[in-house]
Amino acid sequence: MKDSLFTELNLSSGILRSLNDMGFEQPTPIQEQCIPKVIEGRDLVGQAQTGTGKTAAFGIPIIENTEIADHNIQAIVLCPTRELTIQVTGEIMKLGKYHKGLNIVPVYGGQPISHQLKALKRGAHVVVGTPGRTIDHLNRGTLKLDNLKMLILDEADEMLNMGFREDIETILSFTRGNIQTVMFSATVSKSIRDIMKRYMTNPETVSIDHKVMTAPGIDQFVVEVRDSMRTEAICRFMDINNYRLGLVFCNTKRKTESLAQELQMRGYSSDVLNGDVPQKMRDKVMNKFRQGDIDILVATDVAARGLDVDDVNVVFNYDIPQDSEYYVHRIGRTGRAGREGTAITFAAGRKNRRIRDIEKQIKKRLKILMLPSMEDVHESRMEGQLKSIVEVLEQGGLRPYIEQIETAMEGRFTSVEIAAAFLKMQMENLDKKSNLESDEKKQFSGRDSQMTRLQFNVGKKNKIRPGDIVGAIAGESGIPGDVIGHININKRNSYVDIPSQLAQQVVKAMNKNQIKGKRVHVTQA
């Protein structure tokens, strides 16, 4: 996690590894302000909207403060709904996957209680539950809070609105001694303040000020499309609108790398900006993007800080941002210097909760946009060709060509038929060219092409990942990253398959350079 801003929070190596696996590079504002305070054991009220990353804001401190050797329940998280209970449980499990022996048990209605009884009997360090089912277990004696250290109320205002105040107070009555109490809420109502006064000791309040930020001159759309179709959707929108420069935002480093490769396979010049890309390489990528040598740049939020390119035509949110404020920062990369811009956000469903959070943030509804069909794309290409024909007509100088056609085709075809034939030929040539480009990409990346295996003297010991190797080779040797074949990273060295005709070019370029600060020596394996 060398390039991650999470390291500034002084977290354990296990948490940092989990965050790295999940692809997160920087804490959200609520995480940055709350995590240190909650780890220190302070009572706290965090005021923040859904979608600001608050689960990690309490999940990380829970894991950091849990003693694995103590098999009693040490933390309990109360959620208003079973859906949120399941979601929070999954998130904490991901964060705690390198803390061996950590047991997290969800308890909620709608699931047979026998499953929960078995899980609790095996031992739980952390329980995540709805108030009703939690009280059920407390009354049965299957859930004991005698050794509880921390109580989290997630979406406290919603729980109170749903009439859970008495349930919360009942649960609190089962605790012994002083426990750390932490609440997260979108609003701090009178009921919240009453609980703060009665059950919390000198609570701190962390309020994330959601500034109202507008993005004038930017058309903002939401497109309902499943994950597996999002790469195709980007290509269709780029084609049908003839965008010259596109910027795509993903939430994780891993997704930026895989998406850039998918776009390259489809014939687009694409590159990556994420926290693993060294500064020297970032500068090269940005220069290429500014000059138009890259059609689509794929980036994470942290890598795109300060990204300043005036003529970005479109911003795609491949993933909905973790924090709704990030949305405004992202789309602000288009429509700069008085130009018009377009922002397209992909969502699995139009009623997505995080889409609603964004709409609250920008104080307007996102327009619904349909995914273009392949027929739409073909029609758009034809319109583009017709536009080019009109430009040629307006330039003039056609007399010699008119005479040639009149002589060759006299009496057999009308001028309209001849024009249609030329348009058909042009469209067929375009389709052939598109297919040829795709075939060339496949030729380099396919198994049938002749590949040479190169050995690099860097590996896992140097914290090298496939993206580091691809980025370095592409940046230093000038070959496209998508022609690089299989990469096998061992402890002390790595093996990389390169098209044979390019192998010596890579050896020559890389033997003078570094990957992640390590001097590289490359030989043919």
**Residues of the domain holding 480:** 451-524
Whether the pLDDT of residue 431 is over 70: the answer is no
- 55 with 202, same domain: the answer is yes
Q: Would residue 108 count as lying in a domain? A: yes
- 429 with 472, same domain: the answer is no
Whether the pLDDT of residue 446 is over 60: the answer is no
pLDDT for position 437? 47
**Strand order through the sheet with 270-273:** 270-273, 296-299, 246-249, 314-317, 341-347, 218-224, 367-368
- 410 with 314, same domain: the answer is no
Q: In terms of pTM, does the model score above 0.85?
A: no
- 160 with 256, same domain: the answer is no
Q: Catalogue the E-assigned strands of 39-196.
A: 44-47, 75-78, 104-107, 126-129, 150-154, 180-185
Provide mean pLDDT across the span 153-172.
86
- 62 with 154, same domain: the answer is yes
Cα within 13 Å of Cα(205), Cβ side: 11
- 357 with 395, same domain: the answer is no
Q: Would residue 212 count as lying in a domain? A: no
Q: What is the pLDDT of residues 199-227, one digit of tens each?
A: 889 999 998 765 545 556 789 999 998 88
pLDDT for position 302? 67
Q: Would residue 213 count as lying in a domain? A: no
**Greater pLDDT, 512 or 50:** 512
Q: Would residue 400 count as lying in a domain? A: yes
Domain boundary residue, one of 161, 179, 207:
207
Which CATH number goes with the domain that contains 255? Answer: 3.40.50.300
Lowest mean pLDDT among 16-20, 163-167, 312-316, 400-404: 400-404
Q: Would residue 484 count as lying in a domain? A: yes
- 149 with 250, same domain: the answer is no
Q: Would residue 103 count as lying in a domain? A: yes
Residues 6+ away with beta carbon under 8 Å from 335: 215, 216, 217, 218, 341, 342
Provide mean pLDDT across the span 465-479.
82
- 304 with 392, same domain: the answer is no
Q: Would residue 345 count as lying in a domain? A: yes
Whether the pLDDT of residue 516 is over 60: the answer is yes
Q: pLDDT band at residue 3, thresholds of 50, 70 and 90?
A: very low
Report the number of distinct structural domains present in the chain. 4
Two structure tokens written together for 219: 């058309």
Domain boundary residue, one of 445, 464, 495:
445
- 226 with 365, same domain: the answer is yes
Q: What is the pLDDT of residues 252-283, one digit of tens each?
A: 888 998 899 889 888 888 999 887 787 678 77
Which CATH number goes with the domain that contains 483? Answer: 3.30.70.330
Q: Would residue 57 count as lying in a domain? A: yes
- 337 with 356, same domain: the answer is yes
DSSP states along 285-309: HHHHHHHTS-SEEEE-TTTTTT---
- 225 with 367, same domain: the answer is yes
Domain boundary residue, one of 326, 341, 372:
372
CB atoms within 10 A of CB 434: 14
- 12 with 113, same domain: the answer is yes
